[in-house]
Amino acid sequence: MTVDFKGRVAIVTGAGVGLGRSHALGLARRGAHVVVNDLGADTDGTGGSSDAARAVAQQIRAQGGRAIANGANVTDTGQVQQMVDDAIAEFGRVDILVNNAGILRDKTFAKMSLADFRTVLDVHLMGTVNCTHALWPHMIERGYGRIAFTTSASGLYGNFGQSNYGAAKAAMLGLMNVLAQEGARHDIRVNTLAPTAATRMTENLLPPEALDLLAPDTITPGLLALVSDAAPTQMILGAGAGCFAETKVYETAGVALQGSDLSPEGVLAAMDRIRDPSGQAQVENAFAQTRKYARMAAEARGLPLPWQD
């Protein structure tokens, strides 16, 4: 199967440098018209210039593609809506959204100001929400959409000194899970990329010998798969150095406690059984978990099942 974006229109945020730049160029090489969005800020979100976005758009045009540069701040809903309107005016529609823009303000939680915590959440989480919300009605109306969020191992697994970044990136999981369900009947597929890349945001965190292995262009093929016509939905794709893996959330089989065991002491006593991974499984949605617990409790008490699976 050949992945072809000919005639498709994509918006890529944070596309002036690093991963975003690689994604924008990768989409353009396979035929997509691209809105190259970048505020041009430093890694901490300060400053701003559209020079980087213009340079990427010019590179795409020089290679025979179509692209426009955009300097919208993803935290500003008015600017985001204008970006979407400009994209539709220029290209007629938008099929693909790659939410990639982000900043870092790393400190331990004890030393971090709430202002820095909130700013990182605003860019990563609300920036993603703003762009997605602005495009959502358009994609519903057209009956097609491919949306990619960007998470991080810091959100999925934790990383010292990145409580703000980790919280914002973990939020992508919840947003994806809901929007993948809400968008399914409109052929809107929502996935999340979990990249490990050598970019200006990570260059001081990685040893020099790892930088070449973790180049952004080793990750972009995964992103292109997540926004293709044949894309999955509700998937977290780990990517780095040409390596790809899926991250999933599982729930153990668990235990049903009653009587004197239904107490803090009983929960602690049962902790090994609660955490036993044998029989663990994915949970389809939030209400599936509710059904599971009600069924387990009914079975433990010898009561009729509240409903059948």
**Residue type, position 2, single letter:** T
**Confidence at residue 14, expressed as pLDDT on a 0 to 100 scale:** 97
Longest distance between any two alpha carbons in the chain, whole Å: 73
- Write down the catalytic residue from 144, 165, 250, 293: 165
Among the ranges given (41-55, 88-102, 233-247), the one the predictor scored with the smallest mean pLDDT = 41-55
**Confidence at residue 229, expressed as pLDDT on a 0 to 100 scale:** 98
Domain 9-247 part of CATH 3.40.50.720: yes
pLDDT digit string, tens, across residues 73-122: 999 999 999 999 999 999 999 999 999 999 999 999 999 999 999 999 99
pLDDT at residue 48 greater than cutoff 70: no
pLDDT at residue 128 greater than cutoff 80: yes
pLDDT at residue 198 greater than cutoff 80: no
The span from the CA of 171 to the CA of 289, in Å, is 20
**Tokens representing 168?**
């914002």
**Confidence at residue 214, expressed as pLDDT on a 0 to 100 scale:** 84
Among the ranges given (23-37, 45-59, 115-129), the one the predictor scored with the smallest mean pLDDT = 45-59
Domain ranges of the chain: 9-247, 259-301
- In whole numbers, what is the pLDDT of the chain averaged over residues? 93
Confidence of residue 50 (pLDDT cuts 50, 70, 90): confident
**Confidence at residue 305, expressed as pLDDT on a 0 to 100 scale:** 83
pLDDT at residue 7 greater than cutoff 80: yes
Mean pLDDT of 218-227: 97
Q: Give 175's Cβ-side CA count (13 Å radius).
A: 24
Mean pLDDT of 250-268: 98
pLDDT at residue 309 greater than cutoff 80: no
The yes-or-no answer on residue 250 being catalytic is no
Q: Give 258's Cβ-side CA count (13 Å radius).
A: 10
**Confidence at residue 206, expressed as pLDDT on a 0 to 100 scale:** 64
